[in-house]
Amino acid sequence: MFQSTLSLIAAAAAVLLSQSVQAGADAASTSQGAQPQAFSAALKLQKTYFEAGNGFGSALPAGSSPYGSTHTINCTVTAGCFVIVHTNVQVAGGASVNPSAIQVLVDGVVFDGPYNTPVSTTSYTVMNYQTGFPLTTGTHTVSVAVYASRATTLHRYNTEIKLYR
């Protein structure tokens, strides 16, 4: 009896572990191998971009939907720059749980977009995400998007982008 109970517990733990690994997967990111980069040198803030807005319940279809403005970042340092993006977005609940993510796009390509909080079925959900990445010298665009596996609606959002050298 004890051994069969222990075997059942071990099997259940294995199933839960495999599901948690799958749930943490970065399926919303289309970049292969792109990872936030660690940095160790002192950084000097060059410019901060901040935007707060309200989508007033505008429809977001399933898939990736940009919100806010596309920001043009000009890195003039020969060695390159470092960017930190901190953003949050409020979306409405739906009929079923909605796996979702905040995506960061650099020059129109998804750089990073791990799954965030599943969108509630009964209320609003606020997702937060912060990441950092190096940029080469030149002009680049940085924007953010909501990835939702089911349609939802956009409400309040804030995005802060900091350019360092």
- Look at the chain and report how many structural domains it folds into: 1
Give the pLDDT confidence of 54-67 residue by residue, as tens digits.
999 999 999 999 99
Domain that holds residue 111: 29-164
pLDDT value of residue 38 = 57
Q: Is residue 7 part of a domain?
A: no
Closest Cα partner for 65 from 34, 28, 114? 28
Q: Is residue 21 part of a domain?
A: no
Closest Cα partner for 142 from 60, 85, 88, 90? 85
Give the pLDDT confidence of 22-69 residue by residue, as tens digits.
333 444 444 444 444 556 678 899 999 999 999 999 999 999 999 999
Q: Is residue 4 part of a domain?
A: no
The average confidence (pLDDT) of the chain is: 79
Q: Is residue 10 part of a domain?
A: no
Q: Is residue 3 part of a domain?
A: no
Q: Is residue 20 part of a domain?
A: no
State the CATH number of the domain containing residue 49: 2.60.120.40
**Beta-strand pair 138-148/63-75:** antiparallel
With a threshold of 0.95, does the pTM exceed it? no
